[in-house]
């Protein structure tokens, strides 16, 4: 007979004996007597404030295997209102996979949404899970998925397009008007235990690559796209404006592309120290009172020439103009940083000298390259990770990132207690999902 409140979820005879799987959605709790009841004919357990539990009984050994899972999520309701709450665990649809999220990096855009409630026209209008720099393990696969299987470790490219418009068909899917990007309103992000995503935008990680490195493939892809837009190649002289996380990954990719010399600017001396450790040839600490022309002159002086490629990563008007003034005539300035929606630029300067000023939006077809750069050792992103927090410490993690105390802050979303356990004695489940405490009596 079926235990009350449970449904059969299938029978597995692959090991030569019958395993019976049950699953149950949350129903608010049960008594101790209801919590534990099983024999050779039936079994029972209960769930309290959990998303879902799976139970397997091995009829041959009479052992009960239980997997307790929850979907704790960091949800932004409005400006300065970040909450931790349980959310429903979604099943993967056709062509999708379900990911047990392991590592999520905090991006500047996440902090921006938290503190300002918007980025340009993207406005937080309702509850939205934050986070998009993501890696994890495949926990379920939907219909039609053949490239990934349960247990595969993956990095998640957080945006997916319609695949049908002209931009998608010509390889520029980042410009698709129907793009759905994690943690960009109204789409939920990945700061949760479980997340579903199209399988073709998930990339299998080699065994040599950590989850943290997998999460950092997202900002690294921004740098790959920026360096491609700049056309950086062997022998180039490059200026990177800004030594935050995005500036530093651009430094790494520019070096990997063969740039002979890379200079980098910032207001923060500690970040410039990190840049030097990562291979910057010249570091320039900018003073707030300096004009854009003064900083540009200093760049040219220290490089003994004008850089022919500039990657601007701050979005600040003064820094963008520094890049334009510093660039060699006929050079390229790529603007990565996003600041004010409107700024004043020295138009005559870049027109008269034929300096190309180019923008980028996220990235396109860059994840495979980013993965290869890390897997091959051509780029080392490990030093960028300076702080790690548990999902339960999300607000503290955001405050750390906002203060600029480190370079890259990682939130670990996996729940160590959401693991399978073989139980041969009565089970008592206590507390809420974030605790998931077991007593075996």
292 touches 310 (CB < 8 A): no
Burial of 15 (0-12, 13-18, 19+ CB in 10 A): exposed
> What's the pLDDT tens digit per position in 407-441?
999 999 988 654 333 333 333 333 223 323 333 22
Q: Is the pLDDT of residue 272 over 80?
A: yes
Average pLDDT over residues 35-54: 34
Task: Give the DSSP letter of residue 90.
Answer: P
* Across 266-270, 318-322, 361-365, 404-408, least confident range: 404-408
H or E, element range at 160: strand 159-160
Which are the contacts of 94, defined by CB distance < 8 A and separation ≥ 6?
142, 143, 144
pLDDT score at 120: 87
Q: Is the pLDDT of residue 67 over 80?
A: no
Percent pLDDT > 90 in the chain is 76
pLDDT score at 405: 85
> What's the pLDDT tens digit per position in 223-240?
999 999 999 999 999 999
Burial of 73 (0-12, 13-18, 19+ CB in 10 A): buried
Q: How many CB atoms lie within 10 A of CB 343?
A: 13
**Which residue reads 């392991």 in tokens?**
102
Q: Is the pLDDT of residue 350 over 80?
A: yes
**How many degrees, rounded to 5, is the angle at CA 139 between CA 138 and CA 144?**
75
193 touches 414 (CB < 8 A): yes
User: CA-to-CA distance for 378 and 19, rounded, in angstroms?
Assistant: 47
> What's the pLDDT tens digit per position in 86-127?
999 999 999 999 999 999 999 999 999 999 999 989 999 999
Do strands 72-78 and 128-129 pair parallel, antiparallel, or not at all (unpaired)? antiparallel
Whole-model pTM? Answer: 0.81
| pLDDT classification of 69: cutoffs 50, 70, 90 | low
Burial of 427 (0-12, 13-18, 19+ CB in 10 A): buried
Q: Is the pLDDT of residue 2 over 70?
A: no
H or E, element range at 335: strand 332-335
pLDDT score at 415: 81
Residue 266, token pair as written in the block: 């910032």
Q: Who wins on pLDDT, 279 or 45? A: 279
State CA 124 to chain mean position distance: 19
> What's the pLDDT tens digit per position in 5-31?
333 333 333 333 333 333 332 333 333
* Across 16-25, 239-248, 271-280, least confident range: 16-25
**Is there a cis peptide before residue 397, judged by omega within 30 degrees of 0?**
no
Q: Is the pLDDT of residue 60 over 50?
A: no
pLDDT score at 3: 37
What is the residue-averaged pLDDT of the chain?
A: 84
**How many degrees, rounded to 5, is the angle at CA 335 between CA 401 and CA 178?**
80
User: CA-to-CA distance for 171 and 160, rounded, in angstroms?
Assistant: 13
Structural domains in the chain plus CATH codes: 72-204+381-412 (3.90.180.10), 223-359 (3.40.50.720)
391 touches 193 (CB < 8 A): yes
């Amino acid at each position: 007979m079926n235990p009350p409140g449970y449904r059969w979820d299938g029978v597995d005879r692959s090991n030569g004996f019958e395993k019976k799987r049950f699953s149950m959605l949350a129903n608010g709790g049960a008594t101790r007597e209801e919590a534990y009841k099983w024999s050779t004919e039936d079994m029972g357990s209960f769930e309290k404030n959990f998303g879902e539990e799976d139970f397997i009984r091995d009829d041959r050994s009479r052992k009960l295997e239980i997997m307790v899972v929850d979907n704790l999520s960091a949800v932004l309701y409005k400006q300065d209102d970040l909450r931790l709450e349980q959310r429903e665990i979604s099943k993967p649809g056709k062509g999708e996979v379900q990911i047990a999220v392991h590592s999520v990096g905090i991006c500047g855009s996440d902090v921006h949404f938290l503190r300002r409630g918007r980025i340009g026209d993207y406005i937080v209008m309702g509850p939205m899970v934050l986070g998009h720099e993501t890696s994890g393990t495949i926990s379920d696969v939907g219909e039609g998925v053949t490239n990934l299987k349960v247990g595969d470790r993956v990095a998640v490219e957080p945006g997916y397009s319609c695949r049908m418009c002209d931009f998608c068909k010509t390889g520029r899917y980042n410009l698709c008007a129907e793009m759905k990007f994690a943690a960009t309103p109204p789409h939920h992000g990945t700061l949760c235990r479980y997340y579903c995503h199209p399988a073709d935008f998930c990339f299998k990680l080699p065994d040599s690559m950590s989850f943290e490195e997998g999460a950092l493939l997202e900002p690294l892809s921004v740098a790959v796209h920026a360096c491609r837009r700049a056309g950086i190649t062997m022998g180039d002289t490059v200026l990177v404006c800004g030594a935050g996380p995005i500036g530093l990954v651009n430094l790494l990719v520019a070096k990997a592309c063969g740039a002979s010399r890379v200079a980098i600017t910032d207001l923060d001396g500690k970040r410039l120290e990190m840049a030097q450790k990562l291979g910057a040839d010249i570091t320039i600490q900018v003073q707030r009172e300096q004009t854009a022309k003064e900083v540009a002159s200093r760049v040219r002086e220290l490089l003994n020439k004008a850089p022919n490629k500039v990657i601007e990563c701050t979005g600040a008007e003064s820094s963008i103009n520094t890049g334009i003034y510093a660039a060699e005539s006929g050079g390229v300035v790529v603007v990565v940083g996003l600041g004010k929606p409107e700024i004043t630029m020295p138009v005559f300067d870049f027109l008269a000298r034929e300096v190309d000023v180019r923008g980028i939006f996220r990235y396109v077809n860059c994840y495979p390259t980013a993965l290869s750069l890390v897997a091959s050792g051509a780029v080392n992103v490990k030093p960028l990770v300076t702080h790690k927090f548990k999902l339960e410490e999300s607000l503290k993690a955001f405050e750390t990132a906002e203060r600029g105390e480190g370079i890259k802050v990682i939130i670990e979303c996996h729940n160590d207690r959401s693991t399978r356990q073989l139980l041969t004695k009565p089970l008592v489940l206590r507390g809420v999902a974030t605790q998931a405490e077991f007593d075996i009596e």
